[in-house]
Amino acid sequence: MKEAIFSRCQVETPPDVVQLVWSLISEQRPGEIFDSVLDLGAGDGRFSQISGAYRKYTGIERDETRALQANLPPEAELVVADALQWDGSDYSLCVGNPPYIRHHGLERSWRDSALQRIEASGGPALKKTANAFVIFLAQALMCTKADGIVAQVVPYEWVTRPSAKELREFIEAKGWGVDVYRFDSNIFPTVLTTASITIIDKNANPGQWRFGSITRSGAVKLASYASGTHSKVISYSDGSKACKAIRGLSPGGQEIFVLTEEERLFHSLKKGVDVRPCVTSLRSVSHELESLDKESFERLFVHTGARCWLIRSDKEKISPQLQRYLDSVDEAAWKKYSTCTQRALWWRYRPHPAPALLVASGFTTKGPKVLLNEVGAIAAGSVYGVLIEQEQQLAPGMAEKLRRYDFQRRLVHHSNGLKKVEVRQLNAVLADLLLD
């Protein structure tokens, strides 16, 4: 695991949340005192600070400093080790709050070794794009006995994201009972994801999945589906030639590849030759705006100093002015991005077409902002593009249908009231709207 990222992911679980997890465990197994409790990625062992719930607690923590500073009850111990190398499958309960690290931050050798160990022990064959907490959750299942229970504070997204699909299918095939309670408030202010308490009981009602929201005081409101509403979560689709959503271009550092108007003028770069319009965010755009034309692009992006000019370093031949600009970029600046370092020429990216529609990936209302792309801007960053084969005939109608579509009732909330639609979910919606 990359040490810099590992150190940033060490987020302490609030004491009231620790108590709440234990209260839900007690409700699941009334009166049970667990013979052996395992905590993978235990930190300072705070999940051991509960009386009368277990006979022995073992916490696994790779940070020796945190382990040595822990103040534990007599029946608890902390072992300095890698949690995903830990052997044992006879624990009554696996409890804890595993690290939230996206798959990009995991060292390949460490990740591959962990995935191989889990599969070899009879666990799911997880994707290499699985985030760290998904791997920890699978490890927890492997470390508990046949009638054991797993209770973890993890991002709620695992109940729908494709990167955790194999884990969900594995649990369903085993027939284990699952309760997932999404916090209705932000318990980890520095982590941009919605936290949940996930309880997987190997001895519960076969195949029952229950979803709901939970307050910090423990009040639970059950829901019909993972969306938290009476509607199923939007499925995932790859799109079609007729109408397809694509992710925003990621050339490798917006501060390098996307310039402000002032920077364009300073480097004497010409519109249409050296740069072209680009949109990396729709935050500055009002919901009332339906089309991004030349006037609104100039007003909302160019004149406000936004990064809105994508350099045309994707072309086979570039102007002397653009070459001078590229030569002026400090080597340390572009070497920060693996996208650049993996290319033969660090600055030559694969071009994206100008889409018919520009769609924000995140939103706080019932759906994302949708604009007709009359200025021909490239979608980049957090903005999706929608390619439509019969653009002139279909684009205005599709834009209007997307604006009317109620996304929020069919999506898992991301964090702090923010909703995010994945690009393949947007493709599923587009497919439905084409048939409508």
- What is the per-residue pLDDT for 192? 58
Give the bridge partners for 34, in sequence order. Answer: 54
Residue 213 has phi, psi (to 5 degrees) of: -110, 155
The model's pTM: 0.82
**pLDDT value at position 3?**
52
- For the stretch 237-256, pLDDT in tens is 998 989 999 999 999 999 99
- pLDDT surpasses 90 at 276: yes
The pLDDT tens digits of the residues spanning 26-68 come to 999 999 999 999 999 999 999 999 999 999 999 999 988 887 8
Report the pLDDT value the prediction gives residue 392, as an integer from 0 to 100: 87
How far is residue 356's CA from residue 228's CA, in Å, rounded to a whole number? 32
Q: State yes or no: pLDDT of 137 exceeds 90.
A: yes
pLDDT tens-digit readout, 14-23: 999 999 999 9
- 426: Cβ–Cβ under 8 A, 6 or more apart, which residues? 245, 359, 384, 386
Q: Which residue has the tokens 């052996």?
A: 36
DSSP 194-225: -EEEEEEETTSSTT-EEEEEE-TT--EEEESS
- State the average pLDDT over residues 397-426: 89
Mean pLDDT over each residue of the chain, to the nearest integer: 92
Domains of the chain from N-terminus onward: 3-223 (3.40.50.150), 243-435 (no CATH)
pLDDT tens, 175-203? 999 999 999 888 886 665 789 999 999 99
What percentage of the chain reaches a pLDDT higher than 70?
Answer: 96
* Nearest partner of 326 among 248, 269, 405, judged by Cα: 269
Going by pLDDT thresholds of 50, 70 and 90, the confidence category of residue 5 is very low
Strands 91-96 and 37-40: parallel
Nearest-angstrom CA–CA distance, 228 and 196: 12
